[in-house]
């Protein structure tokens, strides 16, 4: 086992640091400067474009990855996207139609709730697309078509590298579906350049910096932040827009491995309840990197500061003065990438934070209590 971990102490740590490589393998052979090539969807592109709705279905981290993809799938395809937690879709027996595309996202491809939702969608006649890390899994066998994320084996129960690869695959799916639209061509080109600048070895288009390697350099800073949070009972993470999913996923990581109560929240909902929790003790991470929600997030920060909130602000590099933190705030500066790809970068410091918090609190990193890597029962 130690051999497989190499120089790392835990699989989760190894898998976080593998992301420049895993993202490279996810994109290998698929990213061209003129567009993306996804063999797994080729036969179904016409139906994907014609269908009236995309339904993303998954559980846990895979659901969060789909949520991160929702805004850019809507933007690049013009098709409405709805989100379904697999168990909730089954509980409600929610309506699904023949004109729907149901996209199932699952690292293992064996999650019982997701597979039952797949049976249900197949019965209803939807086009079923799989996004999985496991070749030969039930999900990849039973869906009509799909894309393997090729992130490499993930052993830690907490999903890390699969999450970022899932987002990247869904970005490539959105690019493929939208590739017949002339009006979005410049936007698609900038996203392709952005994708190529994430990891190192796909960085062949313009010799760009490698943003995932850059953000991993925050490791020591995240360890230091973790040591300041070690005794906290709770942690909130506020995000919105592209980074609502980042807030949910960051909080899920902290919850599942560091065994600390943690909630990801939509910042737009803050004043509708969560604001009552704010005091000088409760740590709150606010994600305020550059995108169309930036000015709204700045105002959230001001509202939290005026209530003496204990803030940790995640902002784009060089943006400290623009977000306007007070001296009491901690700041996490991350490299800026194309706005819709920013969730791939922003989750990494939160993965590192969850990892270090777990080690410092003395809990089992790779096998958190009560959890299994793949949940094969309902
Ligand atoms: C992720 O850290 C969790 N272990 C969990 O939420 C997981 O993502 C979920 O059980 C779904 O698994 P899947 O991706 O294999 O379907």
Measured distance between the N- and C-terminal CA atoms of the chain, rounded to whole angstroms: 30
Q: Is 358 in the pocket of ligand 1 (CB under 6 A)?
A: no
Please state, rounded to an integer, the average pLDDT across all residues of the chain.
94
CB atoms within 10 A of CB 378: 11
Q: pLDDT per residue over 274-314, tens digit each?
A: 999 999 999 999 999 999 999 999 999 999 999 999 999 99
Q: Is the pLDDT of residue 136 over 90?
A: yes
In tens, the pLDDT along 137-179 reads 999 999 999 999 999 999 999 999 999 999 999 999 999 999 9
**Under 8 Å between Cβ of 229 and 220:** no
105 Cα to the center of ligand 1, angstroms: 10
Residues 6+ positions from 316 with CB-CB distance below 8 Å:
289, 290, 333, 334, 335, 336
- Best residue among 159, 253, 262 to mutate for probing ligand 1, ranked by most atoms within 8 Å of CB: 159
Q: What is the largest CA-CA distance in the chain?
A: 58
pLDDT for 236-264, tens place per residue?
999 999 999 999 999 999 999 999 999 99
**Whose C-alpha lies nearest to ligand 1, atom 16?**
106
Locate the ligand 1 atom nearest the alpha carbon of residue 159 and give its number.
2
Residue 19 token pair: 């992301």
Q: Label residue 115 by pLDDT band (50, 70, 90).
A: very high
How much distance in Å is there from the Cα of 8 to the middle of ligand 1?
22
Alpha-carbon distance of 323 to 313, in angstroms, equals: 8
C-alpha 254 to ligand 1 mean position (Å): 14
Q: Which string of b and e fits 126-148 if b means at least 16 CB within 10 Å?
A: bbbbbbbbbeebbbbebbbbbbb
Q: How far is the CA of 162 from the centre of ligand 1 (A)?
A: 10
CB 312 within 8 A of CB 285: yes
Atom 9, ligand 1: which residue's CA is nearest? Answer: 60
Place of tokens 């699989």: 11
**Ligand 1 close to Cβ of residue 313 (< 6 A):** no
Give the E-state strand segments of the chain in sequence order.
Answer: 31-32, 35-36, 53-58, 81-85, 100-106, 127-132, 145-148, 234-239, 261-266, 283-288, 310-316, 330-334
The answer to whether the CB of 62 is under 6 A from ligand 1 is: yes
- Nearest atom in ligand 1 to the alpha carbon of residue 373 is 4
List Cβ neighbours of 78 (8 Å cut-off, separation of 6 or more).
178, 181
Residue 131's beta-bridge partner residues?
105, 147
On the question of pLDDT at 352 being above 50, the answer is yes
Whether the per-residue pLDDT at 202 is higher than 70: the answer is no
CA 134 to ligand 1 centroid distance, Å: 13
Structure tokens at 167: 């987002």
Rounded CA separation 76/127 (Å) = 19
Of how many residues is the chain composed?
378
Concatenated DSSP letters of 21-62: HHHHHHHTTTEETTEE--GGGGGGHHHHHH-SEEEEEE-HHH
Does residue 60's CB lie within 6 angstroms of at least one atom of ligand 1?
A: yes
Ligand 1 pocket check for 159: Cβ under 6 Å: yes
**Percent of the chain, pLDDT > 70?**
96
| pLDDT value of position 208 | 61
Give yes or no for residue 107 CB within 6 A of ligand 1: yes
The ipTM of this complex is 0.98
Compute, in angstroms, the gap from residue 374 CA to the centroid of ligand 1. 7
């Amino acid at each position: 086992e130690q051999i497989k971990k190499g120089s790392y102490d835990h699989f989760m740590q190894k898998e976080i640091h593998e992301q420049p490589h895993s993202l490279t393998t996810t994109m290998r052979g698929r990213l061209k400067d003129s567009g993306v090539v996804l063999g797994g969807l080729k036969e179904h592109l016409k139906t994907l474009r014609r269908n009236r709705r995309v339904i993303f279905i998954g559980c846990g981290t895979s659901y969060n990855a789909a949520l991160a993809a929702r805004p850019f799938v809507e933007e690049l395809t013009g098709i409405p996207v709805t989100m379904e937690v697999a168990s909730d879709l089954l509980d409600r027996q929610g309506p699904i139609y023949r004109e729907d595309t149901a996209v199932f996202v699952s690292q293992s491809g064996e999650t019982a709730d997701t597979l039952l939702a797949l049976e249900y969608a197949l019965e209803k006649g939807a086009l079923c697309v799989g996004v999985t890390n496991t070749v030969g899994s039930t999900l990849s066998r039973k869906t009509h078509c799909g894309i393997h994320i090729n992130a490499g084996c993930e052993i830690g129960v907490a999903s890390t590298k699969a999450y970022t690869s899932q987002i990247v695959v869904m970005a490539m799916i959105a690019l493929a579906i939208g590739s017949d639209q002339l009006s979005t061509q410049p936007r698609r080109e900038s996203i392709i350049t952005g994708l190529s600048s994430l990891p190192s070895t796909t960085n062949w288009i313009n010799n760009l910096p490698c943003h995932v390697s850059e953000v991993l350099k925050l490791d020591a800073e995240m360890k230091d932040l973790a040591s300041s949070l070690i005794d906290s009972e709770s942690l909130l993470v506020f995000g919105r827009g592209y980074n609502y999913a980042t807030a949910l996923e960051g909080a899920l990581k902290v919850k599942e491995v560091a065994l600390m109560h943690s909630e990801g929240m939509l910042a737009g909902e803050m004043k509708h309840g969560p604001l009552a929790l704010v005091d000088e003790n409760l740590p709150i991470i606010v994600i305020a990197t550059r995108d169309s929600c930036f000015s709204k997030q700045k105002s959230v920060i001001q509202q939290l500061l005026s209530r003496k909130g204990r803030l940790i602000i995640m902002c784009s590099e060089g943006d400290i003065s623009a977000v306007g933190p007070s001296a009491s705030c901690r700041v996490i500066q991350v490299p800026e990438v194309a706005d819709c790809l920013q969730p791939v970068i922003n989750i990494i410091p939160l993965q590192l934070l969850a990892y270090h918090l777990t080690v410092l609190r003395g809990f089992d990193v790779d096998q958190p209590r009560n959890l299994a890597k793949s949940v094969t029962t309902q």
